Amino acid sequence: MSHLFPALVGGSVAERPAVRFGDRSLTYGELADAAGGLAGRLGGAGRVAVWATSSLETAVAVVAALLAGVPAVPLNPKSGEGELGHILADSRPSLVLAAAGVELPDSLRELARIDVEVSQGVGGTAANRGVPQDATEGRPAGSGAAATFREVPEDSAALVVYTSGTTGPPKGAVIPRRAIAATLDALADAWQWTGDDVLVHGLPLFHVHGLILGVLGPLRRGGSLRHLGRFSTEGVARELNDGATMLFGVPTMYHRLAEALGEDTAEDVELAKALGRARLLVSGSAALPVHDHQRITAATGRRVIERYGMTETLMNTSVRADGEPRPGTVGVPLPGVDLRLVEEDGSTIAAYDTDGVPTGATDGDHVGEIQVRGPNLFTEYLNRPDATAAAFTEDGWFRTGDMATLDADGYVRIVGRKATDLIKSGGYKIGAGEIENALLEHPAVREAAVTGEPDDDLGERIVAWVVPNSAPAPAALGPELSDHVARRLAPHKRPRVVHFLDALPRNDMGKILKRALRKTEEDQ
Ligand code: MCA
Ligand code: AMP
């Protein structure tokens, strides 16, 4: 069986930088020792929760769990009590891994805790810190990972990542080790991604994008990650001007880059130079508007490429580094991924033959649901056999819920989504139902509906429509409801706008007419 991180156990690149967060960094040797040492303490754990701050400790914790063959559940450190309570009750971790000194919320205090200690890597570069030495006399740096690596089947769970549905609380997608290896190797092929690449990003580490692509990706290649801690256009400019070769981001981040490029200042010139130097600029998690593609290309001469993925499927398609970048498309299926477009009645309208040549309706007009099959797929939703069964067709294809057309040369163009109750805001998927439920728990709320409305920066912004228990609603109730959702679920799930109504528009069956609500906002 192959190892997920050959560079970590081989020892041949022990002195190469592996991960850097701010001014703290670890070489491969140091990471292997830190994660290897921690992995040795995880044997026998069922599942481990990881307090996934944007830090070296999160990288060490997740790598350690993977070395030990123990599934990790990354937690958003800004999760509110409702969301956290649900994830803990559902995934039942036997312990939590968190950076030493970090205070955890009450619901986690009952769990056994292991502090993640990162002794090396404060300040400086690998060169001026010297070659790392393992505590054991005579043992070469990096041998810790090899010593604790536990062989587990490729189909066993590596991560459980929570993702929102249209209704109810988030579901835990169980991601097997083979899916991680398959998706990262397919991206290496599509992007010519190697150990020489230095990736920069500021993505959160509790989702597939930031964690699997953004941390495990460079580590599988033997390359380097420089994480910004939090996204900023200045951080991107600094790192790309200082040797970083690739940038990953969600469309909101590229939108902010496009805005900054238009400012006509000295920083703008620096930023344009930096982006112009990058080998690859990759956007994903939501659609990057063509206007932002164009603004970035006009200012830098570079084209952003898009890839399309999902928590349940990891990556499905991408514009290839050696292919034609075409704004508005997400490229072609990655190696190993089967993809087809399917009508409402289940008939296939377009697919690819065994040579990858598109067949069927490839006029770019016929819209069908994207269905996928391949080694990149999750295995199940934890504790949710009903939802798992519903997600697959009888012949084993995963229903993405994304609607698309196919061009004659096989490029996929996403045109919409089946469920209007799924909102993508800042690249985060958020179910309208979970926000409505949180709003209804507030004593001042009688009825609530939530929609996603177009937003230049976030793609969609969350808008709440509330019938208050006593009219008129006090002026402070809007911000209070927003805070209530942020505290209960997570800050990125908070409504950005709250409208108060006397009644919600409903049809004869009592179902809320969300289109009529949108119309109301347009009229305002
Ligand atoms: C604001 N804040 C609050 C409140 N209001 N905190 C508590 N209560 C409130 N009422 C805080 C926030 O926590 C945050 O804190 C700060 O104020 C700003 O919040 P916000 O406005 O939400 O952030 P933003 O700056 O607008 O964020 C934009 C962003 C972010 C950086 C683009 O949305 C982001 O990181 N998106 C990435 C999403 C992602 O990775 N998706 C991948 C999933 P603080 O300042 O401390 O942060 S999709 C996926 O994985 C699939 C597979 C795929 O295809 O990729
Ligand atoms: P998540 O469930 O958070 O992993 O989000 C997955 C969803 O993000 C997909 O089902 C798509 O709707 C959307 N998505 C991801 N990448 C892209 C992209 N490049 N263009 C359009 N939508 C995307």
Could you give the 3-state DSSP secondary structure of residue 63?
helix
> Which of 285, 377, 381 to mutate for ligand 2's pocket (most ligand atoms within 8 Å of CB)?
285
CATH code where residue 361 lies:
3.40.50.12780
User: What is the pLDDT at residue 152?
Assistant: 87
Q: How far are the Cα atoms of 224, 246, 470, 492 from residue 78, in angstroms, in the given order?
A: 27, 28, 31, 9
Cβ 330 under 6 angstroms from ligand 2: yes
Q: What is the domain extent for residue 429? A: 422-523
Task: Label residue 102 left, alpha or beta by phi (over 0 means left) and psi (-120 to 50 means alpha).
Answer: beta
Residues 386 and 237 in one domain: yes
Looking at the DSSP assignment, which residues form a beta bridge with residue 451? 463
User: What is the pLDDT at residue 128?
Assistant: 32
In a domain, 356, yes or no: yes
CATH code where residue 35 lies:
3.40.50.980
Cβ 488 under 6 angstroms from ligand 2: no
User: What is the pLDDT at residue 522?
Assistant: 67
Cβ 165 under 6 angstroms from ligand 2: no
- Ligand at minimal distance from the CA of 211 is 1
Cβ 76 under 6 angstroms from ligand 2: no
Dig out the tokens for 431 from the structure.
Answer: 């179910």
Rounded to the nearest 10 degrees, how much is the dihedral formed by the CA atoms of 100, 106, 109, 111? -120
User: What is the pLDDT at residue 11?
Assistant: 78
pLDDT tens for the chain, 524 residues long, are 468 999 998 778 999 999 999 999 999 999 999 999 999 999 888 999 999 999 999 999 999 999 999 999 999 999 999 999 999 999 999 999 999 999 999 999 889 999 999 975 443 333 333 333 333 344 555 666 666 677 789 999 999 999 999 988 999 999 999 999 999 999 999 999 999 999 999 999 999 999 999 999 999 999 999 999 999 999 999 999 999 999 999 999 999 999 999 888 888 999 999 999 999 999 999 999 999 999 999 999 999 999 999 999 999 999 999 999 899 999 999 999 999 999 999 999 999 999 999 999 998 889 999 999 999 999 999 999 999 999 999 999 999 999 999 999 999 999 999 998 999 999 999 999 999 999 999 999 999 999 999 999 999 999 999 999 998 999 999 999 999 999 999 999 999 999 999 999 999 999 999 999 987 776 66
CATH code where residue 439 lies:
3.30.300.30
User: What is the pLDDT at residue 132?
Assistant: 37
> Which of 76, 207, 477 to mutate for ligand 1's pocket (most ligand atoms within 8 Å of CB)?
207
Last residue of a domain, which of 152, 181, 196? 152
Residue with the nearest Cα to atom 6 of ligand 1?
491
In a domain, 186, yes or no: no
The total of other beta-carbon atoms located within 10 Å of residue 100's CB is: 11
Dig out the tokens for 410 from the structure.
Answer: 């096989």
Residue with the nearest Cα to atom 14 of ligand 1?
491
- Ligand at minimal distance from the CA of 293 is 2
Residues 40 and 108 in one domain: yes
Residues 213 and 292 in one domain: yes
- Ligand at minimal distance from the CA of 306 is 2
